[in-house]
Amino acid sequence: MKPKAFVAALDDARIVAAIGEAEARSRGEIRVHVAEGHVPDVRRAAEAAFVRLGMAKTAEHNGVLILVAPQSQTFSVVGDSGINEKLPPGFWDEIAAAIASEFRASRFTEGIVSAVTRVGDELARHFPRRAGQQDENELPDSVSRD
């Protein structure tokens, strides 16, 4: 699929709703970013976007970024230290495999929404909301692009 068609096929409203639902169950932060140019090293691009988008500044270091690079037909999932230390080895690879399966079937929004939901499950397990305390949404829930 051509990159513009991929971007056009994304249902931002469904992705944003999934992020909101996932974050409502935890103190974590999830972002989805679409890199619109060629990305030779998607992991490095995701790590740079993680910092650029302010994700390394969350109070509990529990942010997760899903970066999709349609022109390069790649993606990466990056978590901050607070969530990474609580997950089993290979967890991000499992998320990536699930995304890849959906993308191969041209279910782009579904792949991202499914990943957001699974990340939200882990954030809720390790960073549940605290009774009686208001949680601050530290980062925008919108799908960002560059």
Q: Which helix (H) or strand (E) holds 30?
A: strand 29-34
What does residue 116 show for φ and ψ, rounded to 5 degrees? -60, -45
Q: What is the 3-state secondary structure (H, E, C) of 86-135?
A: CCCCCHHHHHHHHHHHHHHCCCHHHHHHHHHHHHHHHHHHHCECCCCCCC
DSSP character for 53?
A: T
What is the CATH T-level fold of the domain 3-128, as seen in this structure?
Answer: Diaminopimelate Epimerase; Chain A, domain 1 (3.10.310)
pLDDT tens-place string over residues 128-139: 988 777 778 899
Write down the pLDDT at residue 1.
60
105 pLDDT more than 80: yes
pLDDT tens-place string over residues 45-102: 999 999 999 999 999 999 999 999 998 889 999 999 999 999 999 999 999 899 999 9
Residue among 110, 140, 146 nearest 15 (CA) = 110
Mean of all residue pLDDT scores within the chain: 92
Q: Specify the pTM.
A: 0.93
